[in-house]
Each structure stands twice: as C-alpha cells, then as structure tokens.
C-alpha cells in the first residue's frame, strides 16, 4: 500500500541562517584573510622593517600597552634611547619586566593596564595571547585604570609612539582616547587589532573612520599590525 502522505519540508529560520552564515564567514573567510596577512607580514620581515621604524630619539616618549616580557620596550629603547612607560597588568609578566629593566631609569613600569575605565578584569593565562575579559574567564584578576586619568597624572605632554597590543582591549581604549581628545597628543600609533572579538570588523572600521580625522595610516597588515601618524 502506497502512502499519499508527503514528507514535511524542513525550513530553517532566518535568524538561524544568519547565524550560520556569520559563523562560516568568520571561520573560513576571515581566517583565510588573517593567515594571508600573517604570511605577508612574515615575508616582509615586518617585525624588523616596520615595528621599530619611527622618527624617535632620546627625548621621545613611548607608551607600551601590553608590555608582556618587555621585548618591544627593549628593542625600541636599544634603538633610540627614549623614555618608555610600560603597562603590564599580569603580575607574572610584570615581574619579568622589572627584572629585565632593573637599573634602567628610562623604562618606567606599571602593574596595571590602561583602558576606558578603572576596575578589575580577568586575564586569561595564554602567554602572550593573554586577554582582558569581563570576569567570566578562569585566570588572573588584574587591574586596569582609565587612560585619561593616568595620563593626567604623568609628567607627559605628548606621546611620540603609542604601541597597543592588549588582546581586544584596543576596542575600548582607542575610542576612549578619541572621545577625550587625547588621540591628538599621540604622534604615532602602532596597534594590533584582534579578530576574535565579536563584531571586530565593524568595531575596527568605526575606529578607522574616527582616526582618519586626526591621523593617516602609514602601513597596514589587517589584524596583524598597523601604524598611524598624526596629520
């Protein structure tokens, strides 16, 4: 006996379809773009050709946000002899910086991060891929302070180079600098935007548009490193 009952068609909701498309885009398209940019950065020897090439001297002031083990601070100091303000919220990494720069008065170190607010966050324990989270990750509790408040209490009028590698925190601190007018005090900005943050592409695009009012982009390796200079 043949059944005349037709199988029901299964429909996927528009919301679920959008979610799946976004997931596929992030996983396959963005991932491939990022890999290509990393490869291009390595082929161009970006760490040596670009990251240390600025018009700095011994009177220059450098802010290192996300000091980690002090590699960038050490390289930029050895090349230019400039004054460096290093901010590293992780106690373990901060202690290594203290040991590394012991006796070097030009490198001033602070065991907190800079952000758009003052408070505490959770730091994921993933080496140089540590990230500032919202308290839901298991890891080290660290302190952050408002960039504007800290800057107002330092003997600094202008930042010659602001390097930012804070694993997603850039999406908070750069808009904070723009809103408070502090971005105008930054001659050069070197930043690593991170693509694992939800809405990273849109957030980065909005920051770019705002930065263009005061700065111009000198070079860019998308979601790897990019550099901006004041107009």
pLDDT digits over 31-45, tens only?
A: 688 999 999 999 999
Q: Is residue 7 part of a domain?
A: no
Q: Is residue 193 part of a domain?
A: yes
CA 139 – CA 123 distance, rounded (Å): 5
CA 51 – CA 102 distance, rounded (Å): 24
Position with higher pLDDT, 30 vs 145: 145
| pLDDT value of residue 135 | 37
Give percent of the chain above pLDDT 70. 81
**CATH number of the domain that residue 137 is part of:** 3.40.50.150
For the chain, the straight-line distance linking the first and the last C-alpha, in angstroms and rounded, comes to 81
The residues near 12 (Cβ < 8 Å, ≥ 6 apart) are: 20
Is 19 a residue whose pLDDT tops 70? no
Averaged over 217-229, what is the pLDDT?
Answer: 98
| pLDDT value of residue 28 | 52
Q: Is residue 214 part of a domain?
A: yes
| pLDDT value of residue 30 | 56
Counting beta carbons within 10 angstroms of the beta carbon of residue 213, is it exposed (0 to 12), middle (13 to 18) or buried (19 or more)? exposed
Parallel/antiparallel/unpaired status of strands 113-115 and 139-146: parallel
Q: Is residue 105 part of a domain?
A: yes
Least confident residue range of 52-56, 113-117, 125-129, 209-213? 125-129
Q: Is residue 152 part of a domain?
A: yes
Domains in the chain, number: 1
- Closest listed residue to residue 63, CA positions, set 152, 164, 150: 164
| pLDDT value of residue 140 | 87
Counting beta carbons within 10 angstroms of the beta carbon of residue 89, is it exposed (0 to 12), middle (13 to 18) or buried (19 or more)? buried
Report the mean per-residue pLDDT for the chain: 89
* Residues making up the chain, counted from first to last: 231
Parallel/antiparallel/unpaired status of strands 159-164 and 186-191: parallel
CA atoms within 13 A on the CB side of 159: 27
| pLDDT value of residue 11 | 63
| pLDDT value of residue 8 | 58
- Closest listed residue to residue 26, CA positions, set 207, 197, 172, 221: 197
133 pLDDT band, cuts 50/70/90, is very low
Q: Is residue 131 part of a domain?
A: yes
| pLDDT value of residue 66 | 97
Averaged over 126-143, what is the pLDDT?
Answer: 58
Averaged over 15-28, what is the pLDDT?
Answer: 60
Per-residue model confidence as pLDDT tens digits over 1-17? 555 656 555 566 777 67
Q: Is residue 74 part of a domain?
A: yes
Is 80 a residue whose pLDDT tops 90? yes
Residue 105 belongs to domain spanning: 41-230
23 pLDDT band, cuts 50/70/90, is low
Q: Is residue 185 part of a domain?
A: yes
26 pLDDT band, cuts 50/70/90, is low
Is 151 a residue whose pLDDT tops 80? yes
């Amino acid at each position: 006996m043949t059944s005349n009952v037709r199988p029901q068609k299964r429909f996927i909701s528009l919301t679920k379809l959008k979610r799946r498309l976004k997931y596929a885009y992030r996983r396959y398209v963005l991932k491939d773009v990022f890999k290509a940019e990393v490869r291009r950065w390595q082929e161009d020897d970006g760490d040596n050709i670009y990251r240390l090439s600025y018009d700095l001297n011994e009177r220059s002031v450098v802010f290192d946000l996300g000091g980690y083990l002090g590699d960038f601070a050490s390289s930029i100091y050895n090349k230019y002899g400039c004054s460096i303000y290093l901010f590293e919220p992780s106690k373990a990494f901060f202690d290594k910086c203290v040991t590394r720069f012991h006796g070097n008065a030009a490198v001033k170190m602070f065991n907190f991060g800079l952000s758009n607010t003052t408070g505490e966050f959770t730091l994921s324990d993933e080496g140089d891929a540590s990230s500032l989270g919202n308290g839901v990750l298991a890891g080290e509790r660290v302190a952050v302070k408002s960039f504007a408040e800290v800057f107002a209490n330092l003997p600094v009028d202008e930042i010659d180079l602001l390097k930012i590698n804070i694993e997603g925190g850039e999406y908070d601190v750069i808009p904070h600098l723009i809103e408070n007018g502090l971005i105008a005090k930054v001659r050069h900005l070197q930043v690593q935007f991170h693509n694992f943050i939800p809405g990273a592409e849109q957030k980065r695009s909005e920051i770019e548009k705002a930065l263009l009012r005061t700065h111009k982009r000198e070079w860019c390796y998308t979601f790897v490193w990019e550099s901006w200079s004041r107009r």
